[in-house]
Amino acid sequence: MRLNQKIKYYFYRLLSAFVAIAIVASSFTLDRRASALNPPPQQVRHTSIASSPNICPSNLSLVLDPIVNAPTFAEGEWGVLVQSLATGQTLYQHNPAISLIPASNIKLLTTAAAVQNVPNLPPLDLEEWLRAIGLVNRDSNNGQANRLLSRMGGVQAIKTAIAPLGVNPDTYRQVDGSGLSRSNRAEPTTFVNLLRGMSNLPGNKIFYDSLSIAGMNGTLSNRLTDPFLQGRVHAKTGTLKGVRTLSGYLDNPNYGKMVFSIMVNQSGLSGKVMTKAIDEMVLDLALVKNCG
């Protein structure tokens, strides 16, 4: 009897060992399958400002030129202009005077004119007007944009309102308030000059606060979420088939505030590819340091 009990005891011990080995082997197999199906994300290129190589204004072109000149964009057109907001120094440019389809960046023209009209509004209209400006820039509401254009008096009224900001009317062609029309055209200089001009106006806070904030709200809620960008970029996106644009302000903690306009037009190219390239450029701008 005792012998039978001992045999049973060792049998169950052996069986338990085999079960344990099987479970471990099964888990290892599942882990390998899961890894194959869901490979780990690629390492972020910029892990920290401290550990990344110095990107100085003087060598910024060495970082950004490979992006705009990549074979992926061989059939496309880039227009880029980046300036220091404080000094007006051009930090980077690539075809800054090229005329491209700006998509919803055209809303910047519409809202800049609308902001300047705020002091002329009766109190009852003020809240509605400010809400409309926020919807147009932050959420890229096309209907509100076209209504603002109409209430402002049309395209010519917009031109008249933004010309004193330093925006040359010959650098853009606006046909609607929203940017949906592919007949709209603008240069990077158009938006950089507009953004610089708006920064000096008493109503700048209204305009600045109406823009999407990187990684936080509006059309940028799920973009530019890197810790060095989140909350530091206030900008307007632009999206049409074969068109991606981004223009706005970047608060670089190691250099100072920048104003930028990045535009790319390439028929047939994935919008995700264009957006990723633009976001990579903005991240590089966030890593610029004073290297003097």
Give me the average pLDDT of each 10-residue run along the chain (292 residues). Answer: 42 38 34 33 39 80 97 98 97 98 98 92 84 96 96 95 96 98 98 97 93 98 94 98 98 95 97 98 95 80
61 and 36 together in one domain = no
What local confidence, expressed as pLDDT, does residue 176 receive?
Answer: 98
pLDDT at residue 100 in the model: 98
What's the pLDDT at 92?
Answer: 98
pLDDT of residue 5: 43
What pLDDT does residue 185 have?
98
Whether 75 and 179 map to the same domain: the answer is yes
Question: Are residues 246 and 155 part of one domain?
Answer: yes
pLDDT the model gives residue 206: 95
Between vectors from CA 245 to CA 240 and to CA 247, what angle results, nearest 5°?
140
8 half-sphere exposure, CB direction, 13 A CA radius: 5
Assess if residue 292 is contained within a domain.
no
Alpha-helix residue ranges (DSSP H) falling in 48-184 = 60-68, 107-116, 123-138, 142-152, 155-162
Q: Is residue 25 part of a domain?
A: yes
Same domain, 281 and 174: yes
Query: Does some domain include residue 46?
Result: no
Structural domain span for residue 72: 57-286
**What is the maximum alpha-carbon separation in the chain?**
106
| Domain harbouring 204, CATH code | 3.40.710.10
Question: Residue 120: what pLDDT?
Answer: 84
Name the residue among 286, 291, 283, 285 with its Cα closest to residue 45. Answer: 283
Looking at the structure, tell me whether residues 203 and 235 fall in a common domain: yes
Specify if 119 maps to a domain.
yes
Look up residue 254 and give its two tokens.
Answer: 């190691």
Residue 138 located in a structural domain: yes
Q: Are 77 and 136 found together in one domain?
A: yes
DSSP 172-188: EE--SSSS-STT-EE-H
47 lies in a domain?
A: no
* Same-domain status, 149 and 84: yes
Q: Are residues 27 and 145 in the same domain?
A: no
pLDDT of amino acid 68? 97
Q: Which residues contact 134 (CB under 8 A, 6 or more apart)?
A: 209, 210
Q: Name the domain count of the chain.
A: 2
Look at residue 52 in the predicted model and tell me its pLDDT: 53
pLDDT recorded at residue 50: 39
Tokens (6 digits) for 19: 């079960």
69 in a structural domain: yes
Whole-model pTM: value is 0.82
End-to-end Cα, the chain, rounded Å: 90
For residues 235-274, b (16+ Cβ closer than 10 Å) or e, as one string? Answer: bbbbbbebbbbbbbbbbbeebeebbbbbbbbbeebeeebb
Report whether 72 contacts 273 (CB < 8 A): yes
Residues 18 and 87 in one domain: no
Residue 228 domain flag: yes
Residue with tokens 């254009």: 149
Q: Are residues 93 and 233 in the same domain?
A: yes
Q: Are residues 36 and 178 in the same domain?
A: no
Phi, psi dihedrals of residue 211, rounded to the nearest 5°? -80, 155
Same domain, 33 and 97: no
> Residue 230: in which H helix or E strand, if any?
none
